[in-house]
Structure 1
């Protein structure tokens, strides 16, 4: 009997959100046994530093309540399914640190809107994922709570800032995790950890109760095992009516675009080869893939304007969040508690009076540049007839932890900000975007493919991504 239970728990740990919800709803597994199996896995892989906080007793109590609800007829879509939550989201009764030591004892009295939506649908908060301090970084290095490690190779980074989210989904600790994306903070860890990461159209998901960097750029979103799971959570969070599938079961006649001048100019050779293979396989599956050009200064325009907005918005956005949500710290308290290198960055770029602080005039120009980026995307989609744009999510696989701040792409030395080179334009334009895993490099590290669609076309993007996933997707279990 004990051996059979152990085998059943092992199988249940591999379930995604939709599959786990169905198994609990059909009585094939209980939420309590499923949650217990995931907690056991979290303990076994605690060295990944994927979590800041897990309240095991609370998670199991919520699972038992879900089993009781099922017994009396509940059919809530996420009933009894545990999800992890990035520690930038407020969670009622469960500490929220924003990744900084200053808030190590802060326990909110309310949930972020997205967390409330998940709970209303029967979902369980499994724990709070590790993140880069205040979501300010792309590698997963957190000074007070530890470096998040890539489950495919613990000597390599997870990506960030939703670092623990990527690690916990990839390691099969949870079937999905809520994350946040400002310049690529969902898609980068999804790519580097080998999971699916979905960034909705900016403003589609509520950001209320989530620590911000920039209201112009921030989006909440999700990392999961497959596109189907992302689509379910998107439907729940947005309270959208379930849309009927197009009826198409393949990619015949679907037109995609790719822009080699903008997205393949700085990529590792293996990344480029994987991308070209994916394009070829999509063509063999009946899709059209046409080449487009977004303009000579597209990448520099997107990067410069986005980083300007990113740094300029931080102080005002974070200060407002702390005040409105009764967080027991002011901006100065947070700033004074930062690790030295981040504090230095803020002193230079975030604080008014810093040598690199973005002036009001430069900020206005940057917002105007974002309008130009939006215009170019719209024009490209219209002119080419493509429904979505394809490109490698990250220009390299996960760099080593030892060399996470400076590493090579090809023969060019870059800083860690290069990890967001390809993800930034969708953030600048507010497009919906999704990264799906398409295989492993020769060194066993994941490679991601990003698909961007026009603003507001989130449900169509998810439908297209399911077909692309079925054609070129390659989700592998690292441990």
Structure 2
């Protein structure tokens, strides 16, 4: 098997046995990125020189018997996580030439674990999008069919993993931005509990919702990355001092005795029949493996999208105010006075979707409208949290589709933002409640496009998610199916 197809645990085993060097593994990924990956557009920036230097250092550690868990593993990093000395654009013209002076905590942890950072993956501008078409620097394509979207906003990360342009990748999830592209690209994606992984060095979109997580080729790799990335960070005030288990320890424990909840609101009108059939087959496999399945209700699900698209833009309006052309980022030098410079710099630097959300958020926070919009959305958020509290009194896990439909053709929804927003209806509630959730491949559409299954659990119950996902992965046996790339 070509080295670029290997999972993290397979690659680590071959590296440890000296059957392959880290430099060779990195060269294979870089070569594939230049050839097969050229039409996928999974990267905004490829750091070949830095990756090969890190791989050479990893080979030195392997030779010395000092190999940390990700030693020599090629990994992609979403382009809104700060990387010292390596361009970090957020997929935006306003930060097109920004080079951070420090690493995000998760990047520090990757480097300490010996990972080789191949480059920065494509994303919707400032993580605002569900199709990864809102990026002026590059639009990634779905490796299963390049005429289709790969999902957003972590679309480049998901596409890079699916196309074997890295062994794994980091993404962020604000309303489904790890799980949705993972579903559309046929990879595993985990959105951890809010506070499980440090957000220090993440260029924020919506601070109460954003969470960093892994996209991988299988469930074991997701557990391995969570082991490395999790933990308290005093530099992040939202980081929780929660103990970190070994997420690989329970992967083989099965699902016998687990209570699995099926929210009736997630299986209703608008669900594509092929998605429904694939998810129902997976549920039958859970039942056959000993899980107890029962119907539950999350009655405020239908209000999640409306609440999210007030809360997230409001926080974005505040977070993105710093990009004003004064301290860093794009600046218009033709302006004659300060307000003109602000206006022209931001108008030139931000794309249409970012401008739309800044305007919505500013309006929702403005005097006279705060009570009617932002506060009301926050109250709905509290109701959704209460829905989950009641649900988890009846079950251990919640199973559902990730998205109502498989991936759609590029450009099909570009002129219909509301339709695009509604594609996140099944993922947004997880973020509003701060819960862990993940996407696992569970089937394919008639067009050969992947379909994902969503698993949700209570706060800091990632072990349960991974345990159930590992059982399903064994039963479904889809990990060997790869995109038909030349």
Structure 1 length as normaliser, TM-score? 0.90
User: Match for 1:389 among 361, 374, 398?
Assistant: 398
Secondary structure of residue in 1 paired with 2:412? coil
Deviates more, 1:153-162 or 1:349-358: 349-358
- Aligned residue in 2 for 1:288: 292
1:410 matched to which residue of 2? Answer: none
**Residue 437 of structure 1 contacts residue 473 of structure 1 at CA under 8 Å; is this kept in 2?**
no
Separation in structure 2 between the aligned mates of residue 394 and residue 55 of structure 1, nearest angstrom: 33
Partners of 2:116 and 2:436 in 1: CA distance: 26
- Structure 1 residue 84 and structure 2 residue 76: aligned? yes
Residue 214 of structure 2: SS of its match in structure 1?
A: strand
Match of 2:282 among 278, 285, 295: 278
* Residues 266 and 401 in structure 2, CA contact (< 8 A), matched pair in contact too: no
> Does 2:192 correspond to 1:200?
yes
Q: What pairs with 1:144-223 in structure 2 (closer than 5 Å)?
A: 144-223=136-215
Cα–Cα, structure 1 residues 247 and 198, in superposed 2: closer, same or farther, change >3 Å? closer
- Post-superposition shift, 1:33? 0.1
User: Map of 1:392-411 to 2, 5 A cutoff?
Assistant: 392-405=401-414
Query: What SS does the corresponding residue of 1:13 show, helix, strand or coil?
Result: helix
Which structure 2 residues correspond to residues 39-54 of structure 1 after superposition, within 5 A? 39-44=30-35, 45-54=37-46
Q: How many pairs does the alignment contain? A: 459
Which of 366, 382, 385 is residue 374 of structure 1 equivalent to?
385
Q: Does 1:36 align with 2:21?
A: no
- Tell me, yes or no, if the aligned pair for 2:128 and 2:134 is still in contact at 8 Å: no
Alignment match of 1:308 (pick from 278, 290, 310): 310
Task: Give the 3-state SS of the residue equivalent to 1:217 in structure 2.
Answer: coil
Q: How big is each residue's C-alpha offset from its partner over 1:351-386, in whole Å with a ceiling of 9 and x where there is no partner?
A: 45999996255322322322221111111111x2x2
- C-alpha distance after superposition, 1:146-169 (max 9, x if no partner): 221000000000100011001100
Unpaired segments ≥5 residues, structure 2: 232-243, 332-341
- Structure 1 residues 368 and 443: alpha-carbon distance in aligned structure 2, compared to 1, 3 A threshold: same
Output one character per residue of 1:392-417: Cα deviation in whole Å (capped at 9) or x when no partner. 1011010100313368xxxxx97111
Q: Give 1:304 deviation, angstroms.
A: 1.7
- Quote the residue 2:336 is aligned against: none
Partner of 1:477: 482
Residue 339 of structure 1 and its aligned partner are, at CA, apart by 5.7
CA contact (8 A) 2:186 2:440 kept: yes
Distance 1:286 1:16 in 2: 28
Cα distance in structure 1, aligned partners of 2:467 and 2:160: 25
Summarize deviations over 1:31-51 as a string: whole Å, max 9, x none.
Answer: 000000000110112111110
| Counterpart-to-counterpart distance in 1, 2:11 and 2:87 | 26
What is the match of residue 356 of structure 2? Answer: 345
Q: Distance in 2 between matches of 1:360 and 1:150?
A: 41
Query: What residue is the counterpart of 1:73 in the other structure?
Result: 65
Structure 1 residue 329 displacement after superposition: 5.3
Aligned position for 1:238: 230
Superposition deviation, residue 275 in structure 1:
1.3
Q: Is this contact kept in 2: 1:348–1:355, CA < 8 A?
A: no
Query: Which residue of 2 is the match for residue 5 of structure 1?
Result: none
Match of 2:10 in 1: 19
| Cα drift, residue 458 of structure 1 | 1.6
Deviations 1:319-348 (A, max 9, x none): 46x69xx74458867632346532551463
Pair 1:452-2:456 in alignment: yes
The equivalent residue for 1:426 is 430
Q: Does 1:261 align with 2:243?
A: no
TM-score normalised over the length of structure 2? 0.88
- CA deviations 1:141-195 (Å, max 9, x no partner) are 1442222100000000010001100110010111111001100000110000110
Mapped to 2, the partners of 1:47 and 1:276 lie a distance apart of 34
Provide the secondary structure at the position in 2 that maps to 1:337. Answer: helix
Query: Which residue in 1 is equivalent to 2:51?
Result: 59
Q: Which runs of 5+ in 1 are unaligned?
A: 1-9, 408-412
